[in-house]
Structure 1
Amino acid sequence: MKIALVTGVSKGLGESIAKIFLESGIHVFGISRTENKRLAKIAEKNNVNYQHYSCDLGNIIQIETTIEHIKVDLDKDGQSLLYLINNAAVIEPINQVLKVDNQALAYHFQLNTIAPILLMNQFLQYASEKNTDFIGVNITSGAAERPIYGWSAYCSSKASINMYTKTAALEQEELKTGHKIIAFNPGIMDTSMQQHIRSSTKEAFVEVDKFKGYKAANQLRDTDTVGGILIDILNDESSIQNGKIYQVNEYF
């Protein structure tokens, strides 16, 4: 049995990834604050299981409790391959570093960096203990590779995730666990995150007009298309390069 754990399944790329997994015959455990009832219907149609876990990934106590619940359910089902897709993230706070709110900054790093690292650590350990194959994916961004005015939090959190991905993958290679960990940059998509970006002031984010232009010029990709590319990468298991930062633009 193959099971995929996907965070941020309530909408956007997370929903698309979960949907494609289900349509491919893979059982999905979805993690998000809000339940996505559409995924349960898709699971029923494809004769697979979908389980939702309500969790605010910005709250470490909720994360730890959710992990324990998931482990219990994994033990009931058993699995030959376990996927973890760390998709959930926020873009806020968008502002000059001199004006960033402390609490917003702390929540951002809890959700974008600490939560995915904690989840990856825990399920890597679980898979090793259960002799289950494991493939982990951290959704990253091109912002990890360049400084962007107003995006100090987002650039930094995604850069942290890239380095974590490379380091964790290196350890798996040295330990010869067979587990694989990669990152995937989905590029610019038509999501609620893009709506938040476009609503920024130019004082907080000097490139706001560029991002408004992406929408006006219909340059934002559909999340189903991007999610399908990631699933194609994962389906070719023997070709997955441990520690690689995959770029969606390489597939267009």
Structure 2
Amino acid sequence: MDIAGKSVLITGASRGIGAATARIFAEAGARLVLMARSRDALDDLARDLGAVAHAGNVAEFADMAGAVELAQDAYGGLDVLIGNAGVITPMGPLATSDPSEWARAININLTGVYNGMRAAIPVMQAAGRGTILTVSSGAAHRPVDGWSAYCASKAGAAMLTASADLEGRDHGLRVMGLSPGTVATDMQRDVKDSGISPVSRLDWSEHIPADWPARALLWMCGPQADAHLGTEISLRDPAMRQAIGLGNPRD
């Protein structure tokens, strides 16, 4: 896919991977709808990039459906959905976890991905084409001490992504996930401040810059990524980083 002129909806777009992705896609000529809960930061970024902003919560289907509708109204359709919004909290022992905070993580990290897909898939199927990319994590496939909500929600989102590919591929949909590894964002600062899990003890230099997953997501919009439909691309894989045109974390 040549992304120039294509409509792209990015959730969790006000900071971190989402904001970096918005900048990379804008540079490539995409027409953007940016969604996040942080209205001020979102509006500033949208203004800088000439994008359309939609303040909302991915955990609320009406908000997510409104973002898809906005893409249709502004650009005549939706070509790409990037499900990036996510939270790492609560972190701590499962035995003492707060049930409401635990459920909140599931609602954002898993139900939020479902809401995006549920809103976008009928629009994409009607057009006979569309790309859906989910930002995943290594925590989707292995437990991490103190991260039960994050691991469980990301594991669910990974299976949901595979399910969407199974159901959507024959309708012209391209669906896959990206597992970026640890990224130098505010989320990793929260992890480090928590002192919970081995990840909190990583040196900051071991985290990749946020523009790496952004560039990987752009690469995934093209046919060169079709071999990975229904699966996850991992930026921990040196061969994959080379294929995308990325370097090494310490370069």
Aligned-residue offset at 1:238 = 6.7
Whether 2:179 is the aligned partner of 1:185: answer: yes
Whether 2:90 is the aligned partner of 1:93: answer: yes
Match of 2:231 in 1: 244
Please give the root-mean-square deviation of Cα atoms over the aligned residues, in Å: 1.9
Max radius of gyration: which structure?
A: 1
Does the aligned pair in 1 maintain the 2:46–2:52 contact within 8 Å?
no
Aligned-residue offset at 1:72 = 4.9
Unaligned runs of 5+ in 2: 242-251
Unaligned runs of 5+ in 1: 44-49
Q: What's the CA shift string for 1:94-117, capped at 9, x where partnerless?
A: 111101101101111110000111
Whether 2:162 is the aligned partner of 1:166: answer: yes
TM-score by length of 1: 0.85
Q: How far, CA to CA, are the matches of 1:22 and 1:193 in structure 2?
A: 23
Q: Residues 209-224 of structure 1 correspond to what in structure 2 (within 5 A)?
A: 210-215=199-204, 218-224=205-211
Whether 2:145 is the aligned partner of 1:138: answer: no
Task: Summarize the Cα distance change of 1:238–1:193 in structure 2 as closer, same or farther, 3 Å threshold.
Answer: closer
Task: Summarize the Cα distance change of 1:104–1:18 in structure 2 as closer, same or farther, 3 Å threshold.
Answer: same
Q: Which runs of 4+ in 1 moved over 4 A?
A: none
Task: Summarize the Cα distance change of 1:186–1:238 in structure 2 as closer, same or farther, 3 Å threshold.
Answer: closer
Q: Secondary structure at the match of 1:147?
A: coil
Which amino acid in the other structure matches residue 65 of structure 2? I
Aligned-residue offset at 1:14 = 0.3
Match of 2:107 in 1: 110
Whether 2:62 is the aligned partner of 1:84: answer: no
Q: What's the CA shift string for 1:162-219, capped at 9, x where partnerless?
A: 111111111123xx20101101101111111111111114xxx242xx533321xx11
The percentage of aligned residue pairs carrying the same residue is 25
Q: Secondary structure at the match of 1:199?
A: helix
Aligned-residue offset at 1:221 = 0.8
Match of 2:62 in 1: 64
TM-score by length of 2: 0.86
Aligned-residue offset at 1:53 = 0.5
